[in-house]
């Protein structure tokens, strides 16, 4: 339990807290972003992997199904090595960088690296009042401001990505913290959120209030 | 032409070797297992780069490492300093509002 208490207060995860992400250091940021779903470390994300990963956050099965559909159907083909689409809509992590799309914060570059300047720009431009994060209004302005012309794929992709980010973080005060968003980019918050949900469920079963003690 | 060269035109081509060496840096720009990051390396600023805040977008100068203050030829940057970079075009500067 102590481990979660530390984490809620924003301390960095120790290597002990990151289970089995052993190829983390040899992977690009965009691969780290997706490593959470690749539970067997074979570099392939099947639709079932996506579904299970989302379920571990406590999301409704229908929502998970919808997310899996959007993610695997749309992002599988660019990562494949064949001209033909993958019949199982698998996503291959070694070519995940090919899933780059437009109309977003542009914090990933075309090779899958992370671009600090673009990330900082995004918050500098849209964090109105310098709150240290983005609320729903900021996100809507960001979505409008970051659009490329006629980039229907990018518009909808970034919309759903930020929607998913918001649903995952679900901040009490409605502000997506910059640090949490950063940890969405490198994927480190995904496992943490799953464990947080697990702990909540356990506490509920034990008859607690169903809410994590922060102190 | 020699004057133009002196004032910037052609200078970028002459000094235009882009630095991609990250060996002195505390971060890495390419991974062996990811060939695209080895083949397509990003620009890495040197410590003594004349162009400051290299990632920050400029409103009215098309700045590069070779031309940290934008185009100096015939006072281009000075003449257009009230415009953003986008509408700056030779002879049709106000083509798009």
The answer, yes or no, to whether residue B70 has pLDDT greater than 60, is yes
Question: Whats the size of chain A, residue-wise?
Answer: 215
Based on C-alpha coordinates, what's the Rg of chain B? 17
Alpha carbon distance, N-terminus to C-terminus of chain B: 32
Residue B77's pLDDT is 72
pTM: 0.80
CB contacts of A94 in chain B (<8 Å) are 33-34
Site of tokens 């994300």: A45
Instruction: Report in angstroms the alpha-carbon separations of B87 from A179, B41, B84, B90.
Output: 36, 30, 6, 10
CA–CA min distance B55, chain A (Å)? 6
Percent of chain B at pLDDT > 70 equals: 71
Average pLDDT for B68-87: 78
d(CA A157, CA A74): 9
CA–CA min distance B6, chain A (Å)? 32
Q: What does the pLDDT look like over A138-157, one tens digit per residue?
A: 999 999 999 999 999 999 99
CB contacts of B56 in chain A (<8 Å) are 117
d(CA A77, CA A89): 7
Q: What does the pLDDT look like over A171-186, one tens digit per residue?
A: 999 999 999 999 999 9
Mutant choice from A111, A115, A146 vs B, greatest count of B C-beta within 10 A: A111
d(CA B11, CA A41): 49
Q: B84: pLDDT confidence band, cut at 50, 70 and 90? A: confident
**Per the structure block, which two tokens stand in for A173?**
């005060």
CB contacts of A110 in chain B (<8 Å) are 40
DSSP calls for chain B = -HHHHHTTTTHHHHT-PPP---TTSSS-S--TT-HHHHHSPPP---TT-SS-STTSPPSS----SS-TT---GGGHHHHTTTS-STT--SS-TTS--
Which H or E element spans position A177? strand A176-177
Higher-pLDDT residue of A53, A25 = A53
Please answer whether residues B13 and B4 qualify as being in contact, where contact means their C-beta atoms are separated by less than 8 angstroms. Answer: no
Residue B81's pLDDT is 77
Helices A188-205 and A178-185 sit at what angle, rounded to 10 degrees? 110
**Per the structure block, which two tokens stand in for A24?**
């983390």
Going from N- to C-terminal start, the domains of chain A cover: 2-205
Residue B92's pLDDT is 52
d(CA A209, CA A200): 9
User: Who contacts B67 (Cβ-Cβ below 8 Å, separation ≥6)?
Assistant: B8, B11, B12
A77, exposed or middle or buried, with CB in 10 Å at 0-12, 13-18, 19+? middle
Interchain contact B34–A (C-beta under 8 A): yes
């Amino acid at each position: 339990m102590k481990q979660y208490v530390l984490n809620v207060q924003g301390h960095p995860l120790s290597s002990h807290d990151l289970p089995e992400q052993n190829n983390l250091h040899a992977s690009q940021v965009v691969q780290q972003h997706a490593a959470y779903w690749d539970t067997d470390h074979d570099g392939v994300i099947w639709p079932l992997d996506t579904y299970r990963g989302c379920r571990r956050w406590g999301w409704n099965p229908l929502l998970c199904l919808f997310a899996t559909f959007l993610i695997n159907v749309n992002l599988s083909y660019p990562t494949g090595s064949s001209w033909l689409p993958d019949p199982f809509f698998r996503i291959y992590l070694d070519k995940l960088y090919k899933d780059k799309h437009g109309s977003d914060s542009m914090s990933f570059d075309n090779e899958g690296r992370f671009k600090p300047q673009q990330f900082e720009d995004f918050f500098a431009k849209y964090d109105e009042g310098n709150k240290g994060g983005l609320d729903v209004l900021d996100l809507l302005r960001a979505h409008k401001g970051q659009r490329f012309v006629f980039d229907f794929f990018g518009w909808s992709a970034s919309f759903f990505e930020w929607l998913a980010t918001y649903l995952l973080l679900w901040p009490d005060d409605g502000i997506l913290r910059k640090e949490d968003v950063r940890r969405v980019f490198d994927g480190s918050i995904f496992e943490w959120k799953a464990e947080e949900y697990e702990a909540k469920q356990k506490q509920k079963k034990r008859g607690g209030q169903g809410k994590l003690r922060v102190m | 032409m020699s004057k133009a060269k002196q004032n910037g035109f052609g200078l970028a081509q002459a000094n235009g070797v882009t630095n991609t060496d990250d060996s002195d840096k505390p971060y890495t720009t390419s991974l062996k297992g990811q060939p695209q990051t080895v083949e397509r390396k990003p620009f890495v600023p040197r410590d003594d780069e004349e162009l400051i805040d290299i990632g920050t977008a400029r409103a009215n100068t098309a700045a590069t490492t070779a031309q940290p203050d934008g185009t100096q030829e015939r006072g281009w940057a000075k003449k257009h300093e009230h415009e953003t970079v986008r509408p700056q075009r030779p002879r049709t500067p106000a083509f798009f509002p």
